[in-house]
Structure 1
Amino acid sequence: MEKSIKLTSLNRKEALRYLGYKKNAPDERVEELMDECEELVLKTAVPRFIYKKFDFTVNEDGVAFKNTSMVLPGESIKKHLYKCDSAICMAVTISEGIDRQLRVLQLTDMAKALVFDSLASVAVEQACDKVEELLREEYPDYYQTFRFGIGYGDLPISMQAPFLKVLDASKKIGLNLNKSYMLAPVKSVTAVIGLTKEPVSTENRGCATCNLNKTCAYRGMGGHCSG
C-alpha cells in the first residue's frame, strides 16, 4: 500500500519565529492572520514525498552512491555519514498549490502573504518530520542522523540536479529545479539521512555544517532553522 502523510495542525510558535517574533507576543491582527492562514495552508497543502535507501562508498571526491552515477562532494557530507551503513535520499514537497496561493496573496495582501509563507515553511518541515517517522518504522534497527540538506556545508547547491534525477522526483512527486538550482515548488526539501547502528551525536547538527551560518537571519534572531 502506498504510504501517505497528512497535516492536521501547524506549529504556530515556529511560524512566529520565522516572522521574527522572540519574546514579544503577536498582536490581535497577527493572531487573526495565523488562524486564517493555518486553515488555508492545511487546505491547500498536498504533501508528497519520495525516498530511497542507498549503500555508498567514500573516496577523495566525496560520497559515491552505489548503482548510481551520483557523487556528493565535500567534507561535510562525509562527516555527516561517518560510521553510517547506508543513506536515505529523500525529497518532500507540499505542492504547487501553495506557491500559487502565495503569489496571489503577495499581490493582494502582503501581511497575510508573510504569515502564510511562514506557516507553509512550517508545513513542509512537519511533512519532513512525518517522513522521518515512516523511516523509523521501516528501519527500526537503525539510528538516524539529522536531515542534511543539499546545499549545506560545502555540498554545492548544484547537486540538486543529480539528486532529483536519482530519485526520479520530477515524475514521482512533481519536484523540479529552476536555473538557479532552486526547488519548484518552493516549499520543498531535499536531504540525506544516514542510517547507523551506533547512537548519533548531535554535536555538528544544523548551523555547524551550514554554509549560510555567517549570514543566516534565524541565527541573527537567536534561533536556527530545522536543517
Structure 2
Amino acid sequence: MNNEIVNLKIDYEDVLVRMGANKYRTKIDTKIETSILETIDLAKKLLQPKYAISMATKKIKDNDIFLDDFRITSKDIFRLLENSEQVCGLIATIGFSIDTKISLFLEQKEIMPAFILDSVGSVAIEELVGNICNDVKEKFGPTTMRFSPGYGDWPIQNQKDFLQWLGAEKIGITLSPTFQMVPRKSVSAIFGIQKQS
C-alpha cells in the first residue's frame, strides 16, 4: 500500500464546506473552529485507510461492457468509457473506527460532535479516493471522470458484482441488504484511461 496515498491531510476548509458552511458568508465561532480542528486530529488517529484497484482491457458485446468476467449494462458507462481501452476500478475505505465513534456520540446524544466527525470522515474518504485517482493518472495518463453504482443508469444492485471484481472483501468491505457499503465511509468507482493521441 502506497503511504503517500493513504497519508491523508484532511483540510479544515473542506470540512466546513461538507458541513454546509459558506466560507465567504458563514461566521464560524472560535468554539466550533476548535471542535473541528480537534475532531480532525481525532479522526487521524481513527483512520484505517485501505484500498484496492483492478485494471482490465475493455471488451464490448451486445452493447454491454465486459471487464474480465464482470459485465456492465449502462449507457452512461458506455459513453464514459467510449475513448478508453483500459479501465480502472477502485474500492476504498477509511475503516470502521470512525463509524463506531459516530455511533457512540449519537448514543450519548452528542449531536454536534457526531455531525463534525461524520463531515471529517466524508472529507477523508474523498481525499483517499482523489489520491488513488491521481496516482493512476501519474502512472497511466489522463483519465475520465469517475462513476459509481447507483448513479445515472448504473443500478445500485450492480454494486455486488462490482465489489466482487474489485476484491472488496479482502480489505474488509461488505454490502448491506440494500447494497450500501459497510463501513459507511467507503467508495467504489470506475473510470477509463483515455487514449493518447
TM-score (norm 1): 0.80
Aligned counterpart, 2:146: 147
Aligned counterpart, 1:75: 75
Offset at residue 90 of structure 1 (A)? 0.5
CA contact (8 A) 1:93 1:189 kept: yes
Moved more, 148-157 or 112-121: 148-157
Aligned counterpart, 2:177: 179
Distance 1:13 1:167 in 2: 32
Aligned counterpart, 1:111: 112
Q: Deviations over 1:80-122 (max 9, x none)?
A: 1111111001000001111111111122211010011001000
CA contact (8 A) 1:62 1:77 kept: no
1:53 to 31, 52, 55: 55
Offset at residue 46 of structure 1 (A)? 1.2
Long gaps (5+) in structure 1: 200-227
> Counterparts in 2 of 1:34-53, with a 5 A limit?
34-53=36-55
Q: How many residues align?
A: 193
Offset at residue 61 of structure 1 (A)? 5.0
Percent of aligned positions with the same letter in both sequences?
Answer: 25
Distance 2:29 2:72 in 1: 45
TM-score (norm 2): 0.91
Distance 1:27 1:150 in 2: 39
| Higher RCO (C-alpha 8 Å, min separation 6) | 2
> Counterparts in 2 of 1:149-164, with a 5 A limit?
149-164=148-163
SS at match of 2:72: strand
CA contact (8 A) 1:7 1:42 kept: no
SS at match of 1:148: coil
Matched, 1:14 2:14: yes
For 1:131, the aligned partner's letter is I
Distance 1:13 1:38 in 2: 11
CA contact (8 A) 2:173 2:182 kept: yes
Aligned counterpart, 1:167: 166
Distance 2:98 2:72 in 1: 30
Offset at residue 198 of structure 1 (A)? 4.3
Q: Deviations over 1:159-217 (max 9, x none)?
A: 110011112210x2101100000000000000001001248xxxxxxxxxxxxxxxxxx
Aligned counterpart, 2:92: 92
Distance 1:151 1:32 in 2: 36
CA contact (8 A) 1:7 1:123 kept: no
Offset at residue 134 of structure 1 (A)? 2.1
SS at match of 1:32: helix
Distance 1:62 1:16 in 2: 41
Moved more, 17-26 or 30-39: 17-26
Aligned counterpart, 2:27: 25
Aligned counterpart, 1:131: 132
Q: Deviations over 1:66-86 (max 9, x none)?
A: 3x1x21222111111111111
**1:113–1:58 CA distance, 2 compared to 1 (3 A):** same
Distance 1:122 1:59 in 2: 38
Moved more, 188-197 or 4-13: 4-13
